[in-house]
Each structure stands twice: as structure tokens, then as C-alpha cells.
Structure 1
Amino acid sequence: MLTPLTPLLPSPSTAAYALLAVAGAALAAWAYLYLYTVYALPFRNLRGPVPASALFGSLITQQKAEPGTTYAAWAATHGPTLRFRSILGSWRIVSTDPAAVAWVLQHTGQFHRQTGFNRMLDRMMGRGVLMVEDAAHRRQRRVLAPAFSAANVQDMMPVMWDKSYEMIEKLEKAVREGEAEDKESGTRIDIHLYFMRTALDIIGLAGFNYDFGAGEGKDNVLSQSLSTLMNFIQKPNLVRVLQIFYPALLPIPTAYTRMLDSTRIIQDRVGREIVAARKAELSDVKVDKRADIGKDAISLLLKANMSPDLDDKQRLSDDEVLGQIGTLMVAGNETSAIALAWACMHLTQHPEVQERLRNELDAVPEDRPSMDELAALTYLDNVVHEVLRFDPPLPQVVRMCVQDTVVPLGVPVRGRDGQMMDKVVVSKGTEFVIPINEINRSTDVWGPDAGDFNPDRFDRGKPGVAVPSVWGNLVTFIAGPHNCMGYRFALAEIKVMLFVLLRNFTLEPLPSHPRIERRGMGFVQRPFVVGEEDKGIQLPVILRRREA
């Protein structure tokens, strides 16, 4: 006898049809992702590695390896421009061809920054200059760029010197405490931690006249939230990867998105206080080109933004000004600290370089030389140049093609059909990877010793091949309309901290000589000690005070 519920229960045939429909949909999705997309690829003739995984392609292989290794191995086999399968059947192009890279970086109308990564930054920091494209980017950059002119960076250097000498005081104390326990062995110091704290204090004061007090060990809600987020990003997480590659998934609440939102709330609150304070200082000042309203970047930005010479359509909104604070914190803090950490690693591995550099610095009569005087120190410039070549803080950048386009190749590659290719048709939605590490270490550019750390290479004159660059024939600071406008600030900061560090201490490797591994989680390559991964990011050295 049938009950009233009987019609609600699926019959065996209905269940079978449903199962068949699901299987059919899965098969159709598989056919689309793994058959049709390959057939429809306009660049399918490019060679590349065999995917290591059906779901993740070669992405996991690339991300598990140290930055600067996988792409180089692929290029040696398949040529400087190649394709590889990424997540869920999508395809990426990667190229170490300087001409192709220059074309992509120059044509920002056709190639935008990676959509998912941009939306993540937007959610965390607001729509600062790193997150916007086209006309919005040009408008923001026009207002912000003057803050990082050579003259303005020179005006910011007193902050760099003050905070760097405060760092020396903290290191002196730590070394004395270590000597009290064991003077012969020296003191183990995580030098990266000191650089991070100092760089944060410098960008806080030079960027927006805000004292984080990181060097003093003060608890600051803004720096703590950002630090927590960055530590979280170090840990591999499938959901986070999917949300970056597929921005439509970002609205789904996860631990990652909740942390992004929490960081944004704190940053907006502190940022509005900073902007309000700067505006209050300007309220009684006639803003023109001669007005002296503060040396920090946000004050200079507000001055430019309020200038009567600026068209109203070009002015930034309060939210856009606010977005620059997060941009300055992320772009102007960790990257410099990471570069300094790698510098110390190389100086411990090459004591002859360290000694020669120290001799040059000791010969400087001033304790606080100007930016021009630092620039005149040729070996310091060579060392910084080589560090940024060998270990760029950003191992790669990714650009998303936003309209079908043709990218010319400077170095033709042999296609899968055996024919030579001198251009690549790139379809809308394709991600184009620019591997900074591999280009900076290219033997075609820097010769057969490109894999060696050798500051003297910059005494040879210009290399034989030009690469897209805003400084030093390196891709480190990118090139084109989206180049790093703060590169002068970064170079000055790195040189100032190396100057004070080496005039006061000697650096040695740990007696155990642990292997320092580069990991590119997040968007910069950070140092980890193999076997001490649980301690997180660190660059330990033995620090000794120099005898008076």
C-alpha cells in the first residue's frame, strides 16, 4: 500500500538518470578543461613540460621548488618561451625572453596584473596604486610618484639613519648578552627580524609619519595584523590557492578571507586617523609648490592632490589616498628587509666581499653620508646590485592578458610542429609569467658565471643583452608604466642599513652551516633554515662586535 510520502521518493530509474546526468556533466567538464581548451589554445604550438598532475598541472611542481629553478630547467629543454598547464586545465605562458617580457610590461592596456592576486590585495589594502589599472593607475601614479623623487628621498634619509642606528643599539645589546654567556662562539642573531622591524619603522615615519615602534618591541595593532596575515600566507592552503586563481570564489568565507577582512578593518581605522591628522595640518596652509608641509610620502601626496594646478578629475578620493597606506606598508617594508637578509647571507658566504666592502665603508668620514655620497661608493653599489640580481625579493610577476594580442619574440623558439616561432598569439584570460629570478641569472645576459655571486661583474660595463629595467639592467624593480616608483627609496634604505651594520659588526655563518632555502610563498621569496621550518622566516648569522 502506498503512503503519501511514496511519490516523494525517487524511483530507481530516476536515481539512475540523476547519476548519469552528474557523470555526464563531469565528463563534459573534463572534456572542456582538458581536451577543448588544448585544441582551442592559440599558442598550443609552444612546447612545455608534461603536466605532473591532472588537477594542478605543473603548478605544484613549480611552487614546491626553490624560486629560480623550475623555469630555468624548463627553458633549457623547451626554449625561453613555453607553456605549462596550471590548475584545473588552465594554461600559462612563461618567458625569459627579454624582448617578449619588455613587450608585455610595456603594453599595460593588453596585460593587467593577475586578477585574483589583485582582488586579494584590494580586499586587504584598498584600491592603492598597486591594485588599479589603465586610467585609474595613471591618475594615482601621477599624484604619488613625485613623493619618491630623488630630492624627496634625500629628505627622508634622516629617518633611515635614525632608525638604522637604533637598530645597531638593539643589536649591541643582544650581542653583549650573548657574549656574557659565550664570547668565543659569538652570538646567533636572526638578522632578518631586526631588518623587518627597522624597515617597518622607516616606512611608517617616511611613508606617513606614523611611529610603529617595532624596533622598541611595541605592540601595534596594525603591524601585528599584517604580520599575522603574512605568517598565515606562508602555509600551503588549497582553498586559498583556488580563491586566488578563481576570484569568483573570494566571497566564500574562509579563514583566509576573514583574515583579509580583519586586516583591512584595522588598516582603514588607523589610516583614516593618519589622513585626518595630515589634512588638519594642511587646513591652515596655502598649498602650492613651495609649501613645506612635511617630508613623509602621504603629506607629499596630499600636497600634490590639493594643488590648485591639478585638474579636479585627476584628484584622488579619500579612499584612494587611504589605499596608498596599505600599499606603502606592503611594498615598502618586507621587500627591503628581505633584500637585506639575502645580502647578509651572501656576505657570510663570501667573507672576502664583506671585508672589502667594510674597508670602503670605513673610509667614509661621515656617519650619515648623503644619498649622492652613498651612490659614489662603487663597491657598495656593486654589492647591492649583485644582491638584487641574485636574489630579487619578488621571484616572479604574473600578468593577465585582457584582450587577444600577439607578443613578438626576440629569441625565436621551435614549436611542437618543428617550425620556428617568432611571435606568440596570446588569448584573453591567459596568464603570462615573468620569472625575475631566471632572467636576472640568465647566462645570455650575464655570461657563463651568471650563477655565481660576483659583485665585480658590474665593473665590466654593460652586459651584452639589455633587459626591461628601470634600474641596473635588472627586472627586479620591473619596467614599463608599472615599474616600482619607490626604487630610489629602497636602494637608499638598503645602503644605509648595510653601512651602519658593517661599520659596527662582523658577520659569520653559523658553525653548523645550515642550508638556507628560498621559498616563494605569498609574493616574495623568504629565507627558511632547512630543519628549522617550524621557526618560520629567519636568516640567522653569528654577529660579533668590532674591536674599537
Structure 2
Amino acid sequence: MFTTLTAPLPAPSTVLYALLGVLALGLATVLYLYPYTARTIPFRNLPGPEPASALFGSLLTQQRAEPGTTYSKWAAAYGPTLRFRSILGSWRIVSTDLRAAAWVLQHTGQFHRQTGFNAMLDRMFGRGVLMVEDAAHRRQRRVLAPAFSAVNVANMMPVFWDKAYELDKKLAQVVSDGEKGGAQVDIHLYFMRTALDIIGLAGFNYDFGAADEADNPLSKSMFAATNGIQKPSIVRVLQIFYPALLPLPTRFTRTLDSNRRIQDKVAREIVAARKAELHDVKVEKKADIGKDAISLLIKANMSPDLEERQRLTDEEVLGQIGSLVLAGNETSATALAWTCLHLTQHPEVQVRLRDELDGVPEDRPSMEELHALSYLDSVVHEVLRYDPPLPQVVRMCVQDTIVPLSQPVKGVDGKLMSEIAVSKGTEFVIPINEINRSKEVWGPDADKFNPDRFERAPGATVPGVWGNLVTFNAGPHNCMGYRFALAEIKVMLFVLLRNYTLEALPSNPRIERRGQGFVQRPFVVGEEDKGIQLPVILRRREV
């Protein structure tokens, strides 16, 4: 995916000085215009907090807090729709208004993903469906989405079951080596490894061997890239907001490029192998080929029914592998980890759920049978409501537009506003945590974990592709793999809870959520130096 260059590259120091010069000039311009923009933005009548600093506004205040906490404080002070200064004098609008959220997510021509974040993901993984917009996104999604239909996800279930029972064997060994039939386990780590193996096999028929701790260069590069982008760094924040700074020769960008070369090499081998299985370019629709997503994509891309202009290029096909890993690995693993945390905090929920699972006669029920388990569905639903893997959606306004509101907001001049004029370059934040915990939608106990809440109808309709939640997004960019994620999560819980009990550690450590930029991950307060972890006590059941 890297273009061969014939002209010599400038020395890194030359590039660095040039970029720093541009940054200094831009910073001087921003500081000069800083007071002026506050008086000229079309949404200046929106209330909001005063910036904590001239350089970063209130962005770092929000980023350094546990996801959702800052927005909740601001909403209590300024209302459901507000504005705040971001980096280098730029602006963000935050709104829990359901009509505004639906409008922004639906109108992808006016609102794109963050340009800098997209550019960084492109550099990390290639131009897959997660990194493109408009016509390119529609074309890629049209070819890829059918691979995640209900029928195709049902065909992937054997992979889910195989990997879930492999995890069971590994956990059984760990527990047997512990004292008194139990052991402390970082359950998040085990879920991460298993989820990577699942997306590898179900996504592109590739065995990472992560559960076996195999020395796999692709898995190492994927973990290094995703971990690197979420580590706090002022330079990285600047690169996300200003893509022109991405060429800066930092340790992070050098790691990205090194990892990308590894990913490209393996991805080309994977795609070549899948293509080899399709021996005839003019493949028939019902040809018996692999059931993994990339095989299905390649088959669809080669179909004679697809117009030439709609076909994906080889580079675009390669880019889907990175998109699949990015979307289908850590999100599922963290959802499972948060589920285990809630089950240790609410043992009565764990007992009731296990009783339901014990009543299933089969060891590998079908996807339909699994989804028919009502309490399992309620628990998963509640976890994805209370602890969505992604805490927020950020969209960049790419053309001046008007966003309607369902709840008029009082401006700083005391007048009510039923719509917001949003100018090009403004970022619009949809706080998933806050919307999912809205008392207007879920009642007075919305800030409590309660799987029984789904026995009653919600108080309002939330924009989303599943479950009256924003968790899987909405509009043209909704998560096409939500069926995959739900089936995977339920399979893993089915096997885990039928074979183990989960308990909190005797020390009862506080688990904090971190990760404003992408996935909100678990950390033990006081043990941040150990990195991401969610320790629990596992005990093998005597069945």
C-alpha cells in the first residue's frame, strides 16, 4: 500500500523544522484570532464552560476524566446542548438531544469522521470501510455488509463455539493451578486474545494463535498500533486534530509505519490465498467457498452482477482486514470484561443468568436458540447500555448546516433555540454514555445496572441500529457487525458461566474506565502502571 518514491526524501530534520514552523505560524494565527472567533461563530449563543487553557481549551479536562463524567457535569450546568473550546481555538458542540444526534448520524454528507483520526487510521490499517466517507464508503459497504447478514453470522457460529471452549480449557488449567479451586485472572486479557482469534478466523480465515500466545507478527503489530493510538500524548492529539503533522518523525509514527509494513505483507498473503480458492474469476453466486467475511467479500466483488465502477480495488480489499480487526476485536473483548465486572458486583444477576444457561440441554445451541434466552439477552443489552465500548461519537462538520433540536435550549441571551447553526470545521460530539444513561429514556434508575429494565418500554426512541441504544451507532455508518458482536458475546458468556463462578477480589479494587478517543478500557486505580486489566476470581463449578 506504499507508493514507491523515485525522488529522494528530505532529511527528517528538514521535515521536522518545516512542520514545526507551520505549527508555530498556525498557533500564532489562532492566538491572534482567538477572541474574534468567539464573537463570530454562528452558535455563539449556546452556553458552555470557559476554556481551561488557550492552547487546548477544555479538551484535556474532558479527555483526562473518566468517560462521561465531564459531559454530565457540563450538561447539569449548561443544559443538554452546549459548546466548548477545543484544541488551538477550535470548537466542539456536545448534545444529548436525540433529534440532533439522529440528524448528525444520518447526514453523513455534512458530517464526516474526524479528518485527522481517519488519516491516522488510514496510515495504520489502510483505506478500509472505517476510514472512508461518502461515495467510497457506500461502495465499500455495499460489498462488505452482506458478509455480516444474519445467515452468514449463523454460519460463523462454529468458530465462536470452538474458540469459547478453547478458552474454557485454558481457564480450567489456570484455576486448577490456583488455591482452593480458584484463581485470580485478568479476564480482559483472555477475552482480548480470544476475540482476536475469532475475528481472524471468522473475518479472513487466519489463525492468529493469540490464545496460545503464539509469536505472531501480525497480532503484535495490531496490538502495538491500537495501544499506541490510545496512549495519552500531546503530540498525538495535535496529529489527530491537524493531519499535516502526521509526517512528524516521532517514535509513534515510526512504529505505525513499521507495523503497517508487517500488516500489508500478511494481508496480501491472506487475500491471495482467498482468491486462489476462487479458481474461476467468473464465480457463481452459489459457489461453495469459505464462510469468512473476506472470502464472502472477494466473491461478491468478483460477481458478474456487480458493475465495474462498484468493485473494490485490491488495495481496498486489503484495507478491510485492518477495519475488521479494529472494529471486531477490542470492542467485543471490553464488552465481555465489563459484563464480568457487573456480574461480580451483582451476584444475584450472575446466579439468575447461570440458572437460565444451565437449563439449555445443548452445549452449542444455534444462534436463534441463544438469542431466545431472554435473561441472557437482557444482561447483554444492559451491559451495552451501561458500558458501551465506545464512549462517544465525534463528527466533523464539512459544510455549514442547520441541526434541529427536539428540546429547545436557552441561549446565553435567555432566548430559546430550536435549532443550531453549525459552521464548517466544528466538531459535533454525541456522548454515547450520557444518552444511554438518560433518565428521560430509561427512567429514574438509568444510572444503575438493572437488566430488568427491558421489561418496560423506554421513554423515548434513541437513534441506533439495535436495542434503542446508540452503542452500535446509527445512519449510514452504523456498525454492520453488530449481529456478529452479539452472537460472539453471548457464546462466550454461555460457556464461561456454565463452567465458572466469578467473584470480586477480596481487596475490592476500584475499576476505572479510561479511553476517550476510542474504546473505554478497564484500569485498576493505583495500578495504572500495569496497564489495562480487569482482575476477577474464577472458580470452577462442580457440575
Shared fold (TM-score greater than 0.5)? yes
In structure 2, C-alpha distance between the alignment counterparts of 1:266 and 1:294, rounded to whole Å:
24
Q: Is the 8 A contact 1:348 1:509 kept in 2?
A: yes
Paired residue for 1:183? 180
Identify the residue that residue 85 of structure 1 maps to in structure 2. 85
Q: Which has the larger radius of gyration?
A: 1
Q: Return the offset for 1:458.
A: 0.5
Report if aligned partners of 1:339, 1:392 keep a CA contact under 8 Å in 2: yes
Distance in 2 between the 1:264 and 1:26 partners? 31
Q: Which residue of 2 aligns with 1:164?
A: 164
Q: Which residue of 1 aligns with 2:67?
A: 67
Structure 2 stretches lacking a partner, 5+ long = 1-23
Return the letter of the residue paired with 1:417: D
Matched letter for residue 229 of structure 2: I
Q: Does 1:211 align with 2:211?
A: no
| Alpha-carbon distance in structure 1 between the residues aligned to 2:236 and 2:77 | 31
For 1:528, the equivalent position in structure 2 comes to 523
The residue aligned with 1:490 is 485
User: What is the deviation of 1:287?
Assistant: 1.4
Residue identity opposite 1:183 in structure 2? K
Offset at 1:230? 2.9
C-alpha distance after superposition, 1:130-149 (max 9, x if no partner): 11111111100000000000
Q: What does residue 455 of structure 2 align with?
A: 459
Measure the CA separation in 2 of the matches of 1:289 and 1:363: 40
CA distance in 1, matches of 2:27, 2:221: 41
Q: Please, which of 261, 277, 280 is the counterpart of residue 281 of structure 1?
A: 277
> Is the deviation greater in 334-343 or in 219-228?
219-228
Equivalent residue, structure 2, for 1:468: 463
CA distance in 2, matches of 1:442, 1:259: 40
Alpha-carbon separation, structure 1, partners of 2:407 and 2:209? 50
Tell me the equivalent position of 2:50: 50
TM-fit CA distance, 1:522? 4.2
Q: State the Cα deviation string for residues 324-356 of structure 1 (Å, max 9, x = none).
A: 000001101010000000000000000000000
Distance 1:266 1:444 in 2: 48
Aligned to 2:371: 375
Verify the 8 A CA contact 1:192 1:337 in the aligned structure 2.
yes
Aligned with residue 540 of structure 1, among 532, 535, 538? 535
Paired residue for 2:357?
Answer: 361
Aligned to 2:3: none
Residue by residue, what CA displacement relative to the aligned partner does 1:21-66 show, whole Å, maximum 9, x if unpaired? xx9998764231x211111101000000111122111111101111
Cα distance 1:25–1:282, how it changes in 2: closer, same or farther (>3 A)?
closer
Separation (CA, whole Å) in 1 of partners of 2:166 and 2:223: 21
Q: Please name the residue that 1:12 is paired with.
A: none
- Read off the aligned partner of 1:88 and give its amino acid letter: L
Q: Which residue in the other structure is 2:16 paired with?
A: none
The alignment status of 1:404 with 2:394, answered yes or no, reads no
Q: Which deviates further from its counterpart, 228-237 or 472-481? A: 228-237
Look up the equivalent residue of 1:471 and give its one-letter code: W
Question: Which whole-Å CA distance do the structure 1 matches of 2:214 and 2:27 have between them?
Answer: 54
Partner of 2:10: none
Matched, 1:421 2:422: no
**What SS does the aligned partner of 1:481 have?**
helix
Shift of 1:283: 1.7
CA deviation digits over 1:139-189, x for unaligned, max 9?
A: 0000000000000000000000000000000000000011xxx217x3100
Report whether the alignment pairs 1:518 with 2:513.
Answer: yes
- Residue 400 of structure 2 aligns with an amino acid whose one-letter code is D
C-alpha separation between the residues in 1 aligned to 2:246 and 2:433?
A: 29
Q: Describe the superposition over 1:456-508 as per-residue Cα deviations: whole angstroms up to 9, x where unpaired.
A: 00111x20111101000000000000000000000000000000000000000
Q: Does 1:31 align with 2:32?
A: yes
1:146-295 equivalences in 2 (<5 Å): 146-178=146-178, 182-183=179-180, 186-284=182-280, 287-295=283-291
The normalised TM-score by structure 2 is 0.94
Distance in 1 (CA, whole Å) between partners of 2:211 and 2:535 is: 18
Distance 1:253 1:292, change over 3 A: same
Q: Secondary structure at the match of 2:407?
A: strand
- Contact 1:233–1:521 (Cα < 8 Å) also in 2: no
Distance 1:122 1:202 in 2: 23
Distance 1:332 1:520 in 2: 17
Task: Check the 8 A contact 1:285/1:291 in 2, yes or no.
Answer: no
Structure-2 change in CA distance of 1:514 and 1:26 (3 Å)? closer
What one-letter code is carried by the residue in structure 2 that aligns with 1:375? H
TM-fit CA distance, 1:77: 1.2
What amino acid is the match of 2:162?
A: D
CA distance in 2, matches of 1:198, 1:365: 25
CA distance in 2 between partners of 1:385 and 1:466 (Å) = 16
Quick one: distance in 2 between partners of 1:470 and 1:229? 28
Residue among 292, 296, 307 paired with 1:311: 307
Q: What SS does structure 1 have at the residue aligned with 2:395?
A: strand
Q: Does 1:328 align with 2:328?
A: no
Question: For residue 467 of structure 1, what is the amino acid of its counterpart?
Answer: V
Q: Secondary structure at the match of 1:544?
A: strand
Look up the match of 2:439: 443
Give the CA RMSD over aligned residues: 1.4
- Distance between the aligned counterparts of 1:400 and 1:522, measured in 2? 14
Residues in 2 aligned to 1:493 and 1:514: alpha-carbon distance in whole angstroms: 28
Kindly tell me: are residues 29 and 505 of structure 1, through their superposed partners in 2, closer, same or farther at Cα, counting changes over 3 Å?
closer
The TM-score with structure 1 as length reference comes to 0.93
Q: Distance in 2 between matches of 1:531 and 1:103?
A: 41
Letter of the 1:516 counterpart: I
Change (3 A) 1:24 1:343: closer
| Residues 135 and 24 of structure 1: CA distance in aligned 2, closer, same or farther (over 3 Å) | closer
1:416-468: CA deviations, max 9, x gaps? Answer: 110000000000111101110110011111111000000000111x2011110
- Name the SS of the counterpart of 2:405 in structure 1: strand
Give CA-to-partner distance per residue, 1:203-236, whole Å, 9 cap, x none.
0000000000111111110111121233333432
CA distance in 1, matches of 2:152, 2:27: 59
Q: Which runs of 5+ in 1 are unaligned?
A: 1-22
Q: Tell me the distance in 2 between the aligned counterparts of 1:196 and 1:90.
A: 36
Stretch deviating more after TM superposition (143-152 or 286-295): 286-295
1:480 aligns with 2:482: no
Q: List per-residue Cα deviations over 1:367-424 (Å, max 9, x = no partner).
A: 0011100110000000000000000000011100000000000111000110000000
Identity of counterpart residues, as a percentage?
A: 78
Structure 1 counterpart SS, 2:237: helix
Q: Distance in 1 between matches of 2:533 and 2:455?
A: 32
Residues 520-543 of structure 1: per-residue CA shift (max 9 Å, x gap): 154100000001111100010000
Aligned partner of 1:501 among 487, 496, 500:
496
Is the Cα–Cα contact under 8 Å of residues 230 and 518 in structure 2 kept in the other structure? no
Q: CA deviation at 1:288?
A: 2.1
Q: Is residue 58–residue 84 contact of structure 1 (8 Å, CA) maintained in 2?
A: yes
Deviation at 1:101? 0.3
